[in-house]
Amino acid sequence: MTGGGRDTAESGQAPSGAPVPPSTTTPAATARARSTVGRLLDLVPLVLAIVAEAAWIAVAGGLIAEYTLQEPHLGIGALALFVLAGVVAARVLAPAAGDRWPSVALLLVAIGGLIGWLSAPAARTALASVGVVPALGVNPAGWVAGIAVLRGFTHSKLPISAGTLATVFAVGVPSLAIAALAGGMIAEPHRARFLADATVAVIVFAGCSVVALAIARLTAVGAGSGFDWRRNPTWVALLVVLVLTTLAVAVPASDLSPVFALAAGSAVGPLLVVGLVLGFNRGTVRTVALAVAGVVLVIGLFRLLGSRGVITTESLGGGAAGSAAPPGSGGLGPVGLLVIVVAAMIVVLVLARLWSRRTTPDPSGLVEIRSIDHGDGSTNRPARRLRRRRALPEPVTAEEAYIRLLADIDRRPDVRRDATETPAAHAARLRGTPAADLSLDLLAADYALARFGGVDLSPAEERRALERWRRLRRSLGARA
């Protein structure tokens, strides 16, 4: 197994370990690559960022609702629409408003909050029956829709800012942790409802923000250099699989002992990386994915059929009221989530295969040749311990001495003879090093005379050649 046999830019399928013909990206390919699908893929990080923003705002709204002993009415989906409205408003209205944009933005935030507040029927009823001020106490969590609109303003420019996303993640993680701790202090049933919704929101937040941040960083790094995240589908697949797998492991592990949680959670990344290093080709991915999917599907079905606890579909969105089991109480949540996650992994792997045929050519028209090259196999040599080293006979001629020297120094990449080097060129290359003085030149010359020149060397010359071999073997650091 020689590692990832990835498709190159335009060469199609690449079997693992097989030589892949190089692909050339030229300006002519630029127009082809910028397809509609390509432009839609440009929006992927923005969509992820919107969902991540909506997720943490949903937790904030849920906390407010919990502390006011009410049910939250805005889930992640609804809040994502508010964030999207903020993005669109900033892109459309900000240039037109000019200097008046701050005032307009404030107005939009207020309108967003108002709509969020009135999204609850109870708030509308209270407004009609008891007036404005008393009605403000109903569905106060709805006002977080204004925050969603405000956050949308920050993602109005494409490509989205990696710095902004990094701030969202850096501030979001401790804030969500504090919110989770604070939310656990309220009495049931609001506590269970909040924790169930917050768990989903935190998973969505972590997954979306990490992936969006990575893509945004890569886009920023590659800006002006003619590539973006779609140029490396292996990377995209690995990133998504890693994040999803971590979340899938983290959720059930979070209910267990801290030591087990730490061990399980922290082992995911290294395990996948180790798997990647040991061999992460298509066959491996396919086999592992299918096996995991099958096992998890069977377990999930058994649990679904045998469980009495119910989590309504609305609770995944954090929306309408419903009886919710606390996370971990029934075991259905983690397992069901695992099924979804594994299914997502398979989809991602399929998408990775599709993406591998897609390229983003260099806009500057730079000629670039890409190929998968496993080299001369020096990196894939069989384990040394498996090879039994036979005791080679001592050389008796200059010709044998030179060949034996080559075998002796073959494990030293810095001094061994390259496949393209002649004996004289090899000796000339090493002549400057302290380890090999003129002896190698003389030995190589003896070899050339005897091997190719048809010259019969005298016994004295043969003896000197053998002495040089012994000296060079020591000085060049070869192991006899």
Partner 1 sequence: MSGRALAAVLLVLAGAFVGAPIVVVLGLVVLLLETIRAVWTRYGLQGVTYRRTLASDRTTWGEEIPMTIEVWNRKRLPLAWLRADDDASFGVVVRERDLVDSSRGSGALRNVWTLAPFERVTRRFHVGAERRGVYDLGPVDLSVGDLFARQALVEERDVRARFIVRPRTVGTTGIERPDQWGGVERSKAGLTEDPSRFAGVRPYTPGDPLRRVHHRASARVGAPVTKRFEPSRDREVLIVLDVQIAHGPAWDLAVETDEIEDLYVVAASVARALATERAAFGIAAAGFTGAESRFAHVPVSSAGGQAERVLDMLARLSAHPSAPFERLLGLVRRVARPGTTILVVTARDATPFAGWFRRLERAGCRVVVLACGREATVDAARARSAGFVARAARLNGPWQTATALEAAS
CA distance 193 to 189: 6
> How many binding residues for partner 1 (CB under 8 A)?
76
Contacting range for partner 1; rule: CB under 8 A; set: 36-44, 197-205, 341-349, 383-391: 197-205
Chosen residue from 90, 214, 349, 430 binding partner 1 by CB under 8 A:
214
Q: Interface residues for partner 1 in 267-296 (CB under 8 A)?
A: 268-270, 273, 276-280
Q: Interface residues for partner 1 in 392-451 (CB under 8 A)?
A: none
Cα dihedral across residues 276, 277, 282, 286: positive or negative: negative
Q: Which is nearer to partner 1, 188 or 373 (CB)?
A: 373
Chosen residue from 73, 151, 193, 231 binding partner 1 by CB under 8 A:
231
Q: Shortest Cβ distance from residue 201 to partner 1 (Å)?
A: 9
* CB neighbours of residue 300 within 10 Å: 18
CA distance 209 to 169: 6
The span from the first CA to the last CA of the chain, in angstroms, equals 30
Q: Which amino acid is at 448?
A: A
Q: Interface residues for partner 1 in 367-386 (CB under 8 A)?
A: 367-375, 379
Q: Interface residues for partner 1 in 5-44 (CB under 8 A)?
A: 6, 8
Contacting range for partner 1; rule: CB under 8 A; set: 232-240, 286-294, 411-419, 440-448: 232-240
Q: What is the DSSP string of 55-75?
A: HHHHHHHHHHHHHTT------
Q: Shortest Cβ distance from residue 429 to partner 1 (Å)?
A: 16
Q: What is the DSSP string of 144-210?
A: HHHHHHHHHHTT-SSSPPHHHHHHHHHHHHHHHHHHHHHHTTSPTTHHHHHHHHHHHHHHHHHHHHH
CA distance 450 to 444: 10
Chosen residue from 328, 330, 331, 336 binding partner 1 by CB under 8 A:
328
CA distance 231 to 23: 13
The verdict on 349 binding partner 1 (CB under 8 A) reads no
Q: Which is nearer to partner 1, 63 or 84 (CB)?
A: 63
Nearest to residue 33, comparing CAs of 11, 9, 5? 9
Chosen residue from 199, 315, 359, 439 binding partner 1 by CB under 8 A:
199
Strand partners, 346: none
Q: Which is nearer to partner 1, 177 or 347 (CB)?
A: 177
Chosen residue from 96, 129, 133, 257 binding partner 1 by CB under 8 A:
257
The verdict on 337 binding partner 1 (CB under 8 A) reads no
Contact 62, 183 (CB under 8 A): yes
Q: Interface residues for partner 1 in 59-118 (CB under 8 A)?
A: none
Q: Which amino acid is at 313?
A: T
Q: Which is nearer to partner 1, 197 or 400 (CB)?
A: 197
The verdict on 210 binding partner 1 (CB under 8 A) reads yes
Q: Which amino acid is at 473?
A: R
Q: Shortest Cβ distance from residue 3 to partner 1 (Å)?
A: 4
* CB neighbours of residue 326 within 10 Å: 18
